[in-house]
Amino acid sequence: MTDTKDSNTENQGLTQLGRPTAIPASPEDAVLETFANPNEGLDYLVRLACPEFTCLCPITGQPDFAHFVIDYVPHKACIESKSLKLFMASWRNTGAFHEATTLTIATRLTAAMAPKWLRISGFWNPRGGIPIDVFYQSGPPPEGVHVPDPGVAPSGGRGQ
């Protein structure tokens, strides 16, 4: 007999939640899953923070570290957090520049859930003494939606 949790994930078309799932070998292999927005008639903000993001410098192969703050106002779908976690972890052995990484994440999230509004703040740890923070916003947020500051200190204040 299938338990209620499995039935609910199956009814939502979720294949990763509630079962063991390996980290994808690359971001291209990762599947971002969504579920129906439970409050489609309301505009509200969802914030997902990924403070331990890692990937590789595409030139040196050295690790790069970032803290991502993803804010979005859902439309018909919300991103499922386990699939996001697996997608973000899939970057660990991938070489990519900060700008390309941040905008690829934005593009993939937009394609997966078509939000009303999306903002990604990528706070990258300094490399060679220079932080390269990358920000993307799809446009102005819907009127009346509270959008708090990302809450990450500028470089010099992070981790010190």
Active site residues per annotation: 57, 64
Q: Which amino acid is at 151?
A: G
Instruction: Give ∠ CA 139-142-143 in degrees, rounded to 5.
Output: 125
- Please name every residue paired with 64 in a beta bridge, in sequence order, or none if there are none: 55
Residue 20 CA, chain-centre distance (Å), reads: 20
Other Cβ atoms within 10 Å of 83 Cβ, number: 22
Helices (H), the chain: 4-11, 81-89, 98-113
Report the alpha-carbon distance of residue 36 to residue 30 in Å, rounded.
Answer: 20
